[in-house]
Amino acid sequence: MKIAVLADPHGNAVALRAVLADLKSFHPDKTIIAGDLVGYGPEPKEVIDIVRGIDAIVIKGNHDDAVIRKDYSDMNELAAFAAEWTASVLDDERVFYLSELDFMKEFELEGRKIGVYHGSPEDPFEYVFSEARARALLGKSTMDVIICGHTHIPMFVRCADRILLNPGGVGQPRDGNPDASYALLDIDDLRPEFRRVRYDINKVQRQMIEAGLPVFLAARLSMGV
């Protein structure tokens, strides 16, 4: 069984469509999206509609939660601006969809226990950057597979017969590579294939500027930071 693992589309519908077109050729049995459908990007409505139109296991992230609650106090100035803008353009029905998403999902596939969390199993807003922290989480978890997002940086850590996987960011990669990032995971051997997909960054940047979103948020897409 093969799973497509995505995270952090962040209102970037152009990148999300490119990723979905790429993964289609691999015929994954399941698709997982580890949160932050919105925030930063210029097309939050479109991203929500795309996600609702596919058969995917989806959770919410911190940007989704901020838009739902209209509370941006824990965000930096640029993220807060973008989240507030996102809340202003989303209708109640789409906000309700976000509000119905869970912060985590735990389930079983092919005898493997899989946990999907935006940040970590212990905190939906935790950034898991280090291998040491990943190993600590694996050591405490009952899951065979921990899937995280939030950092926008691809990560794979194996500890005995358990793994932690972060597929990187679809809508705003931060590992120095501007191409959209996702992963394909073989459930049988727990080996991921990280995929990078080019998309029309210039188009998204124009959309962001036209929407009045901060220039830096548009510029960073070209840098992958």
**Residue-level pLDDT at 27:** 97
**Residue-level pLDDT at 91:** 98
**Residue-level pLDDT at 135:** 97
Residue 152 resides in a domain: no
Residue 146 resides in a domain: no
The Cβ of residue 200 has, within 10 Å, a number of other Cβ atoms equal to 13
Distances (CA, A) of 157 to 113, 123, 142, 191: 16, 19, 16, 10
Identify whether the C-beta of residue 43 lies closer than 8 Å to the C-beta of residue 11. yes
**Domain tally for the chain?**
1
User: Averaged over 31-52, what is the pLDDT?
Assistant: 99
**Residue-level pLDDT at 220:** 98
Domain that holds residue 45: 2-104+167-223
Residue 50 resides in a domain: yes
Residue 86 resides in a domain: yes
Residue 162 resides in a domain: no
Residue 158 resides in a domain: no
Residue 182 resides in a domain: yes
Distances (CA, A) of 196 to 46, 141, 181: 22, 29, 5
Half-sphere exposure of 161 (CA within 13 A, CB side): 7
Residue 156 resides in a domain: no
**Per-residue pLDDT tens over the stretch 76-126:** 999 999 999 999 999 999 999 999 999 999 999 999 999 999 999 999 999
**Residue-level pLDDT at 28:** 98
Q: What are phi and psi of 191, to 5 degrees?
A: -115, 125
Alpha-carbon Rg for the chain, nearest whole angstrom, is 16
Which domain CATH number covers 193?
A: 3.60.21.10
C-alpha 79/C-alpha 99 separation (Å) is: 19
DSSP string, 30-61: EEEEES--SSSSS-HHHHHHHHHTS--EEE--
pTM: 0.96
- Give percent above pLDDT 70 in the chain: 100
**Per-residue pLDDT tens over the stretch 132-179:** 999 999 999 999 999 999 999 999 999 989 999 999 999 999 999 999
